Amino acid sequence: MDQGLRELYQEVILDHSRHPRRFGALQEATHTGEGYNPLCGDRVKIYLALDAENRIQDIAFEGKGCAISQASASMMTDMLVGRTVEQAEQLMSGFLHLVKGEDTNGLAPEDREQLEVMGGISEFPMRVKCATLPWHTMKSALEGGETAKTE
Amino acid sequence: MTAQLKRVPVAAFDPLAARADFEILSRTVYGKPLVYLDSAASAQKPRQVLDAMREFASSDYANVHRGVHYLSAVATERYEVARENVRRFLNAGQADEIVFTHGGTEAINLVAHSYVAPRIQPGDEIVLSVMEHHSNIVPWHFLRERYGAVLRWIDVNDDGSLDVDRVDAAIGPKTKLVAIAHMSNVLGTITPLKDVVARAHAKGVPVLADGCQGVVHLSVDVQGLDADFYAFTGHKLYGPTGIGVLYGKRALLKSMRPFNGGGEMIQEVSRERVTYAPPPARFEAGTPPIIEAVGLAAAIDYLSGLDRKAVAAHEDDLLRYATDQVKELNWVRMIGEAKNKGAILSFETDDMHAHDVATILDREGVAVRAGHHCAQPLMERFGVASTTRASFALYNTREEVDVFVAALKKARAILG
Ligand SMILES: Cc1ncc(COP(=O)(O)O)c(C=O)c1O
């Protein structure tokens, strides 16, 4: 198989997309955000429950989309639980660098290792927006919920 | 000085010979031969079109309708010959019923702005089908937002076909226009346009046909159809981008207010007032797409030099060949199986998103479109967010269909 495709559709990614973690709504959400990719019509909704210290106590997502956006949302929600808002934003910034094939020095080594599987997307410029949609949506949820768009 | 090809009558059509006219088709992507199945989005251009544009620009070019100098006269002649060429292609009665626009989208917006908008009272209706392209939807939404027009939607059947009775039922005393595609860019459905027009006219309602897809695959006769307006775009017809056409019946065009304001569309301008040129100039403000008009004329010449019936039969064969193979895959759901359809194959795949499918096909050299195809109301009608679409043109082959189907199976193996 094409090396690029092999990296893009790694087993880990397919597993996340087939069995997304933290999929569903969150009753006790303090923040929600909706994301929309006008290119493909994909939608994602992120639910966040922040505690008094601005820590992500719980997080979930709903939506329909391609394997890349679903896997990205699943990994993101998995990694964000327990982090502060500030840490979440740091992780997002590192992730955005990663999927664009840029320097990821801002990421903690263990985060980089986990996110590495998404690195293959940088070879597919038309698909980078699929991977970033959940992250932009998470950010917009934190900022008070305008619909995030990837364009 | 027209760049017309001689019309040599040919008994049949040889797609391999035609392929040689499209240089881009011999390129590779990711080291694989290109299999271009996205012609419904935009078709590739034959050498004859590119040569005509280049030759014109390098020997006869100047602005049109302006100078008294030699080149301006030559260029004006070429531009007007192109108009005559389009007239013949659509079998319009008069060349001044052909308006050059910058695309199909602009042609439809022109009708909305110049014909329909001034006739709208709040509550007046525009009838359109759910399978319209956004360019035949959004201009009507503008009229809804700005003037209180009401959009009346005609549903399609589950197989994607359209019953003319539904059109009838949707037209009421407040209907100002029926706007309908001649052929759907997603389903491939060819609409019973002639019947639609007859029903609408029986109630005194004019019809705008969006011919962006139809004109590519069908022989269009606007007089036979009795369509009031017929819009199409150059780049899907093997011509250049940046040009489109609006055919409009002369009496209607004459009754319409201008669209854009600028040079060429006026009779006289003073500080106090302005009077407008007659159609088609009234609707061609500013410097028009001159080189593109020559290119479009060359594309029409190219098509007219082929046996179009044989071309249509070839495209039909490709569609059937592809449909038969794709339908054997039990994880594929076809969307759009009307009896009367053009060479477009849209489908949904179990557990695989269209974008993932298209990405894998792409790496096999197969260019298809994935998404909502600028037809979101139709996606909603079929309960899907997106589909994968393969569209066939005169230069595609059965071998390419085989590559496409093999790539689809590969996508299944990776994602399924
Ligand atoms: C059915 C239909 N109508 C209208 C258009 C718009 O054409 P253009 O984008 O060239 O203006 C398209 C193609 O994009 C189409 O397929």
Domain boundaries, chain A: 3-149
Task: Report the separation in Å between the CA atom of B179 and the middle of ligand 1, taken as the mean of its atom positions.
Answer: 14
Task: Give the Cα separation of A133 and A122 in Å (integer).
Answer: 15
Q: Which residues of chain B have pLDDT under 70?
A: 1-11
Give the C-alpha separation, B410 to B279, whole Å. Answer: 54
Dmax over CA atoms of chain A, in Å, equals 49
Distance B232 CA to ligand 1 centre (A): 8
Going A79 to A80 to A84 to A89, the CA torsion angle's sign is positive
pLDDT of amino acid A147: 65
Length reported for chain A: 151
Question: What digits encode the pLDDT tens for the residues B33-84?
Answer: 999 999 999 999 999 999 999 999 999 999 998 778 999 999 999 999 999 9
Task: Write out the residues of chain B at the interface with chain A, using a CB-CB cutoff of 8 A.
Answer: 30, 351-356, 359-360, 363, 370-372, 376, 379, 385-386, 410, 414-415
Q: Selecting from 3.20.20.80, 3.40.640.10, 3.40.50.1820, 1.10.1740.10, what CATH number does the domain B50-304 have?
A: 3.40.640.10
| Contact state of A40 with B359 under an 8 Å Cβ cutoff | no
- Give the pTM: 0.92
Our CA-based measurement puts residue A41 at a distance from the nearest CA of chain B, in whole angstroms, of: 6
Q: Tell which atom from ligand 1 comes closest to the C-alpha of B233.
A: 10
pLDDT of amino acid B10: 47
Domain B15-41+307-415 CATH assignment equals 3.90.1150.10: yes
Of A64, A127, A130, the CB nearest to B385: A64
Take residue A49 and report the two structure tokens written for it.
Answer: 């429950």
**pLDDT confidence tier of residue A42, bands split at 50, 70 and 90:** confident
What does A68-103 look like in DSSP terms, one character per residue?
HHHHHHHHHHHHHTT-BHHHHHHHHHHHHHHHTT--
Two structure tokens written together for B192: 């019973």
Three-state secondary structure readout of B335-355: ECCCCCECCEEEEEECCECHH
Q: Are B97 and B239 in contact (CB under 8 A)?
A: no
Do strands B32-33 and B344-349 pair parallel, antiparallel, or not at all (unpaired)?
unpaired
Contacts of A130 in chain B (CB under 8 A): 355
The residues of B assigned a catalytic role are 374
Q: Which residues contact A68 (CB under 8 A, 6 or more apart)?
A: A8, A13, A17, A121, A127, A130, A131, B355, B356
Sign of CA dihedral A131, A137, A138, A140: positive
Q: Which residue of A has its CA nearest to B365?
A: A2
Which residue intervals of A3-66 are DSSP H helices?
3-8, 11-18
Name the β-bridge partners of B274.
B269
Q: Which conformational region is residue A84 in: left (phi greater than 0), alpha (psi within -120 to 50 degrees), or beta?
A: beta
Q: Which of B349, B374, B414 to mutate to test the interface with A (most CBs of A within 10 A)?
A: B414
Give the single-character DSSP code of A1. -
Handedness of CA B307, B309, B312, B313 (dihedral sign): negative
CATH architecture of A3-149: Alpha-Beta Complex (3.90)
* DSSP letter, residue B96: G
Considering only residues A9 and A39, tell me which one the structure prediction assigns the higher pLDDT: A9
Residue in chain B nearest A13 by alpha carbon: B415
Distance from CA of A56 to the nearest CA of B (A): 30
Write the residue in A1, A64, A124 that is nearest to B359 by C-beta.
Answer: A124
Question: Does ipTM top 0.90?
Answer: no
Mean of pLDDT values over A41-64: 92
**Per-residue pLDDT at A145:** 62
In B186-260, beta strands by DSSP E: 207-210, 229-233, 244-248
Distance in angstroms (rounded) separating the CA atoms of residues B112 and B118: 9
pLDDT digits (tens, 9 = 90+) for B382-407: 999 889 999 999 999 999 999 999 99
- CA B307 to chain centroid: 20
Q: What are phi and psi of B188, to 5 degrees?
A: 80, -10
- Residues B84-110 have pLDDT tens digits of 999 999 999 999 999 999 999 999 999
Closest residue to A41, CB basis, from B352, B386, B415: B386
Question: pLDDT digits over B267-282, tens only?
Answer: 999 999 999 999 999 9
Q: Which residues contact A126 (CB under 8 A, 6 or more apart)?
A: B359
Record the tokens describing residue A57, joined without a space: 């106590």
B53 lines ligand 1 (CB under 6 A): no
- Show the tokens assigned to B239: 């011509």
- Kindly list the domain boundaries of chain B, sorted by start residue: 15-41+307-415, 50-304
Average confidence score pLDDT of chain A = 90
Give the distance from residue A55's alpha carbon to the nearest chain B alpha carbon, in angstroms. 34
Q: How many beta-carbon contacts under 8 Å exist across A and B?
A: 51
Instruction: Say how many Å lie between the CA of residue B305 and the centre of ligand 1.
Output: 25
